[in-house]
Amino acid sequence: MKKLHISLLALSLAAGALQAQVSTDPVGFTTISVAGNGGSGQPAYTFATLGMYNAVAYQSTTSSVGGSSTLVDASATWADNAYNGASGQITHYVEITSGTGAGTTYDIIGTTAATQSLTLSQPLLAGISAGATYRIRPHWTIAGVFGATNQNGLTGGTSTTADQVLVWNSSTQGYTTYYYKTAGLGGTGWRSFNSTSTDASGTVLYPDDGFIIVRNQSNATSITITGSVKTGQSVIPVPSGYTLLGNVYATSMTLASSGLYTGNSSTGVAGGTSTTADQILIWNPGASGYDTYYYKTSGLGGTGWRSFSSASADASSTPIPAGAAIFVNRIGGSGTGFNWVAPQHPASFN
């Protein structure tokens, strides 16, 4: 589970609360266009994210918050372990949808019928109390997105011939690589580079995870994800160092509309110069490299979103497309992370 920056989060949410999301979310699908290598023999890279959510499994109102990591709902009729594995495996998560902490999410590690309670993997934000609305969704997994038998578009094989899915680990500042193994010792199915025999099909992909698809085939392909559209603001933890994050909404946002820059480095990216500010890296497949952006706060060329290509050209309208992933390089903020409060895109579904 991605850890919220609890001590900082209240600052970014104190300005106002969202209304409870009690209606059914819009549904639809998104298509990830996966680039082929055109026969070059070199891998092709696609930076992607889910962009769709699994349908809400349960939504209600908290009756109390018992302890820092427990949510109680007196109206709940769930069974033991309904929203987690029998041994506490993570299968579902809670999102708070109103009041303080709206948009924060927490993995569920325990579901108890007798006490009508959920045990969460980390403490709830201080200030979340009785009356807060919430919803529960199942997590996406490797198998759920790419197919239990890899039937959704990627090519299987060995660790060197198969297409690969790279998931960033902010704690280690490196990737975990997955692929669909089709033969050999250790059986077949989804595997990671860490083990050719351990089933990786249940690996959780978080809604705000960015991932990289490495295509080793000449032809392009596509992966269609059907689900619910995210409504309401989203709170996305951004730790120090590099983090690969996705646009959680089903429509494009821009650097200006993203909410990444707030003017306060404890609640958003740190502004500064090209060497001191936090950086946003967006993959440019045409150049086979990154376009890098930052928020400039002084000096010749004015202030605002800029790219490394120009210290004066306004880059605020640079898109973060639906289904796209970006790297955030947190180098400011005195060594601490922040919580990105991303506003709903589009602002209205009416």
Instruction: Kindly list the distances between the CA atom of residue 4 and the CA atoms of 101, 105, 121, 237, in Å, as whole numbers in the listed order.
Output: 10, 9, 11, 5
Q: Is the residue at 12 inside a domain? A: no
Share of the chain above pLDDT 70, in %: 93
Token duo for residue 32: 């990830």
Instruction: Kindly list the distances between the CA atom of residue 158 and the CA atoms of 165, 169, 325, in Å, as whole numbers in the listed order.
Output: 13, 23, 26
pLDDT > 60? residue 13: no
* pLDDT single digits (tens) 84-130: 998 889 999 999 999 999 999 999 999 999 999 999 999 998 889 89
* Together in a domain, 241 and 333: yes
Nearest C-alpha neighbor of 249 from the set 197, 349, 323, 192: 323
Of 138, 166, 188, the residue at which a domain comes to its end is 138
Domain that holds residue 212: 29-50+157-228
Q: Is the residue at 105 inside a domain? A: yes
* Together in a domain, 39 and 163: yes
* Together in a domain, 204 and 247: no
* Together in a domain, 42 and 69: no
Q: Is the residue at 184 inside a domain? A: yes
Q: Is the residue at 171 inside a domain? A: yes
* Together in a domain, 43 and 64: no
* Together in a domain, 202 and 327: no
Of 189, 206, 228, the residue at which a domain comes to its end is 228
* Together in a domain, 244 and 337: yes
* Together in a domain, 337 and 239: yes
Q: Is the residue at 34 inside a domain? A: yes
Instruction: Give me the DSSP letters along 90-119.
Output: B-EEEEE-SSTTTT-EEEEEEEETTTTEEE
Q: 287-325 burial, b for 16+ CB within 10 Å, e for fewer?
A: eeebbbbbbbeeeeeeebbbbeeeeeeebeebebbbbbb
Q: Band of the pLDDT at 147, cuts 50, 70, 90?
A: very high
CB-side exposure of 43: number of CA atoms within 13 Å? 15
Q: What pLDDT shows up at residue 5?
A: 58
Q: What pLDDT shows up at residue 153?
A: 95
pLDDT > 50? residue 17: no
pLDDT > 50? residue 9: no
- Mean pLDDT taken over the chain: 92
Q: What share of the chain is helix, strand, coil (3-state, %, to 5)?
A: 5, 40, 55
Q: Is the residue at 70 inside a domain? A: yes
* Together in a domain, 289 and 267: yes
Q: What pLDDT shows up at residue 348?
A: 84
* pLDDT single digits (tens) 194-239: 999 999 999 999 999 999 999 999 999 999 999 999 999 999 999 9
Q: Is the residue at 150 inside a domain? A: no
pTM for this one? 0.91
Total domains in the chain come to 3
pLDDT > 90? residue 7: no
Q: What is the mean pLDDT of residues 275-294?
A: 97
* Together in a domain, 281 and 337: yes
* Together in a domain, 208 and 272: no
